[in-house]
Amino acid sequence: MSNTTGPNRRVLSGMRPTGPLHLGHLHGALNNWLRLQYEYECFFFVADWHALTTHYEDPSGIGPSVRQMLVEWLAVGINPAAATVFVQSDVPEHAELHLLLSMITPLGWLERVPTYKDQQEKLKERDLSTYGFLGYPLLQSADILIYRAGHVPVGEDQVAHVEITREIARRFNHLYGREADFEQRAERAVRHLGGKQSKLYLEFRRSYQERGDETALESGRALVENHPRLTLADRERLLGYLEGIGRTILVEPDALLTPTPRVPGLDGQKMSKSYGNTIGLAEDPEAVEKKLRTMQTDPARVRRTDPGDPGKCPVWQFHRMYSDERTQAWVQEGCRSAGIGCVECKQPVIDAVQAELKPIREKIDEYNASPDTVDIILAEGRERARDAARETMEEVRESMGLEYR
C-alpha cells in the first residue's frame, strides 16, 4: 500500500560506511534526516553489510568507518532520543529476512536493477560479479521491510531500490498473505475493534470496495493503525480485509526523494569522494581554509584586472549556498567588473564554511573523547531496532509456515 498521506509514520534510511562524511552528505541526506527525526518515527542505520558487498576484498576500513559515521551523525544533530540509530550487523534479523526473501525473488528482477550494471562498470577495478553484490538491492529491501517503514528518504540513485522493495513486498503478501481461514479470522478481528469502531470500519470498507472511495480507505487504515489494542497479526488482517486482499504482512514503502541542493565540490562538479573534491566534516580548519583558498575560479580571470563570470566559477556555487543576497550581489558585480579579486571573493565562503563546521568538529571531538557514550547509544539503538525487527520476523516466519520447531 502507498503511505504518502496514510498513517504510517515510520521512516527508515541507511548509509554505507565507506569513509568520512563531507558537506555533500550534510546538505543532502543529513539535513533532511534532522528534520524528519522530529516529524516521524525514524530508524537510521549504518549499512556495514552493504559496504562489504563492494569492499569484501579489504574490509579493514569498514569497522573504523562505522564508528566514525555514527559520531558524525551525532555531531550534526541526529538525536538518539528522537531517532533509533544502529548498525545493520547488530540486527542479524536483516540477514534472516534477506535469506527468506531470496527464496521468492526472481533473478531477473535483480539483474534489471540499473545500479547493478552501472556500479560494475564504474567500479571496474573491483570484481563485483558476486552473489552478494547481485543481492545488494534485496538486502536493502530486507532493511526496509523488516521495520515496515512507510517512507524511505533516499537520493535519486536509490529510487530503483525502493521500487524493487515494493515489488518484493507485494509478491510476499501475495504468496503468504492468504491464510486458509482468512475471512473468519478477519471477521473476528473486526469484532475485536469494539462496537462503534467495528461499525465504522465496516462502513469504510464498504465505501472503498463498492465505490473506490480512497478517503474511506485512508480513514479505515488510520482507524486500524491507531487502534490501541490489536495484535500485529490482526492489524495486518484488517488492513488486507479493508482493501479486499489478503493479509498485508510486509508494507510497501514510498521513496521520499531528498530535495537536495546540488552541493558543489571544489571543482564545481558534484561533491563526491570519487572526484576527490570534498570538504570533510571532521577536517581541521587549516585544511579547510587551504582547500577553499586554492579552489578553482573562472579560468578567464587570469589577472586580477580580467573580468570574470560567476556562472563559470565553483566559488559562486558556494556563494549560492552560503551567502545572503547582498553578498551575492557584491560577487556578481565585483566579478564582472573586476572590482574584487578572487581571494577577496572567497573570504565570505571560507568564513561561512568554517562557522558551519566549527560546532560539528567540536562535537565530533567530544564524542570521540567519550567512547562509552557512543557505546550506550549503539546498544540502545540495537535493542530498539531488534525489538521492531523481531516482531516482523515472527509474522514472517508464521506466515511462511516456519513455526514448526
Please give the residue ranges that form the binding site for ligand SF4 (CB under 6 A).
Answer: 297-298, 301, 308, 310, 313, 315-316, 331, 335, 340, 342, 345-346
Q: Any contact of residue 138 with ligand TRP (CB under 6 A)? A: no
Q: Of the candidates 47, 288, 345, 389, which one interacts with ligand TRP according to CB under 6 A?
A: 47
For residues 299 and 314, give the distance between their C-alpha atoms in angstroms, rounded to a whole number. Answer: 11
CB of 270 to ligand TRP, least distance (A): 15
**Interface pick for ligand TRP out of 14, 17, 265, 381 (rule CB under 6 A):** 14
Minimal distance, residue 313 CB to ligand SF4, in Å = 3
The residue sitting closest to ligand TRP, measured at its beta carbon, is 14
Nearest approach, Cβ of residue 331 and ligand SF4 (Å): 5
> Closest separation between CB of residue 28 and ligand TRP, Å?
10
Q: Which does 143 bind (CB under 5 to 8 A by kind): ligand SF4, ligand TRP, none?
A: ligand TRP
Least distance to ligand SF4 from the beta carbon of 83, Å?
Answer: 39
Contacts of 261 (CB under 8 A, 6+ apart): 27, 321
**Nearer to ligand TRP by C-beta: 161 or 301?**
161
Beta-sheet pairing, 41-46 with 254-257: unpaired
- Between residues 304 and 390, which has the closer beta carbon with respect to ligand SF4? 304
Shorter beta-carbon distance to ligand SF4: residue 41 or 298: 298
Residue pair 298/193 in contact by the 8 Å Cβ criterion = no
Task: Examine residue 93 and tell whether it contacts ligand TRP (CB under 6 A).
Answer: no
Q: CA-to-CA distance for 190 and 170, rounded, in angstroms? A: 23
**Does 323 participate in binding ligand TRP (rule CB under 6 A)?**
no
CA Rg, the chain, in Å? 25
Answer with the entry of ligand SF4, ligand TRP, none that 20 interacts with (C-beta below 5 to 8 A by kind): none
3-state secondary structure of 306: coil
Cβ distance to ligand SF4 smaller for residue 154 or 313: 313
Q: Does 148 bind ligand TRP (CB under 6 A)?
A: no
Per-residue H/E/C for 44-101: EEECHHHHHHHHCCCHHHHHHHHHHHHHHHHHHCCCCCCCEEEEHHHCCHHHHHHHHH
Q: Which stretch binds ligand TRP (CB under 6 A): 139-147, 366-374, 375-383, 396-404?
A: 139-147
Which of 382, 289, 364 lies closest to 93, judged by CA?
A: 382
Q: Element (H or E) spanning 257, and its range?
A: strand 254-257
CA angle 69, 75, 78 (to 5 degrees): 85
Q: Where are the beta strands (DSSP E) in 279-332?
A: none
